[in-house]
Amino acid sequence: MTVFDEFNEIKRKGLPQILVIFGEPTEIVGELKKQLLSEVNFEPTDLSQAYYDLTPNNSDLALEDLESLPFFSDSRLVILDNLVNLTTVKKSVLDEKQMKRFESFLDNPAETTQLVVILYGKLDSRLKVVKKLKAKATLLEARELKSQELIHYFSQGSSLSKAVLSLIAAKSNDNFSVMKQNIDLVETYALGREVTVEDVEKVVPKSLQDNIFALTDLIFKGKINEARALVHDLTLQGEDLIKILAILTNSYRLYLQVKLFQEKSWQENQQVSYLKMHPYPVKLANQLVRKLPLSQLKKGLLELIELDYAIKTSLADKAYLFDITLIRLTLKKI
């Protein structure tokens, strides 16, 4: 069950008197906040509702709203966004006296007041006020969604096929906000018609993982000039060679595993199930290594592991060391 499923269950039962939405994936906290505001039909002009993105300048007013009885309705909803005092972040938006006022509300919350607290980070469980909050409130913790959970979430109310969503998830590195942007991108591009896998390939920007697959394809084909040019372009775009090396090494590990699977005549779905990873990179790996000898992949992986050690222990320039290894891999001098 994802945090969105949990929130749907909360909405089905009715919002509790005190709800805390928190978690480190800020984009998912933001989506939950958006759904909350939609659920309560939030209107800034509605005097029975109050929303505060807390700052030292508006914190007194926010607490007054929290402590006051409703005037024009039977109940009042107060939403406190970014109350950082409650998180492990070493910042504060309420001073000591204001925190005592907040704690007093938790000790004796008015029956006519509903409170929603939205936090971007972990709750600081060491704090007395947080312990009190946990005892009184319903907690909704935002967590990263796995690939299949992302596909399921974005398939709800969407006409996009599973194949399209799977490819977008892979190209988005299973990142919630990036996937959401990429879905908007392909739907805008399609102008109302059915979105195809080809549309995704054409429109969605290449991820670093996509570029590493392209790099290994150039390596395996012996295209040294193109391989060096791609690495140069990636570094100009701000990608660190250490990060490129890490992904390249992990890719070689995948290629080696897939080659071993091929020699055992395993189908792609069996490989995906065993590796517990997204089908997209497994599919690409199968295409790349089909005609390659197992020995080349073993030697290449060992070369990359040795490069990582050399970069971490040598005084030589890492760009030079990377380039030498790239040449050796591409020209098969390993």
- Model confidence over 280-309: pLDDT tens digits? 889 889 999 999 999 999 999 999 999 999
Q: Is 175 exposed, middle or buried (0-12, 13-18, 19+ CB in 10 A)?
A: middle
The tokens describing 162, both together, are 């599973």
Q: CA-to-CA distance for 286 and 87, rounded, in angstroms? A: 45
Query: Does 16 have pLDDT greater than 60?
Result: yes
Q: CA-to-CA distance for 176 and 151, rounded, in angstroms? A: 10
Share of the chain above pLDDT 90, in %: 79
Q: Is 189 exposed, middle or buried (0-12, 13-18, 19+ CB in 10 A)?
A: middle
* pLDDT value of residue 36: 96
* pLDDT value of residue 73: 81
Q: CA-to-CA distance for 194 and 296, rounded, in angstroms? A: 42
Mean of per-residue pLDDT scores for the chain: 92
Q: For residues 203 and 186, is the Cβ–Cβ distance under 8 A?
A: yes
As a whole number, mean pLDDT of residues 55-66 equals 92
Domain 208-330 adopts which CATH fold?
A: Zinc Finger, Delta Prime; domain 3 (1.20.272)
Query: Does 319 have pLDDT greater than 70?
Result: yes
Classify the C-alpha dihedral 248-253-255-258 as positive or negative.
negative
As a whole number, mean pLDDT of residues 34-44 equals 94
* pLDDT value of residue 145: 93
As a whole number, mean pLDDT of residues 219-233 equals 94
Q: For residues 131 and 86, is the Cβ–Cβ distance under 8 A?
A: no
Task: Give domain limits for the chain.
Answer: 3-141, 147-203, 208-330
Q: 158-215, pLDDT tens digit by residue?
A: 899 999 999 999 888 889 999 999 999 999 999 989 999 999 999 998 888 889 999 9
Q: 126-145, pLDDT tens digit by residue?
A: 999 999 999 999 999 999 99
Relative orientation angle of helices 208-220 and 224-236, to the nearest 10 degrees: 160
Identical fold between 3-141 and 208-330: no
Statement: 3-141 belongs to CATH 3.40.50.300? yes
DSSP class of 155: H
Q: For residues 142 and 24, is the Cβ–Cβ distance under 8 A?
A: yes
* pLDDT value of residue 333: 59
Share of the chain above pLDDT 70, in %: 99
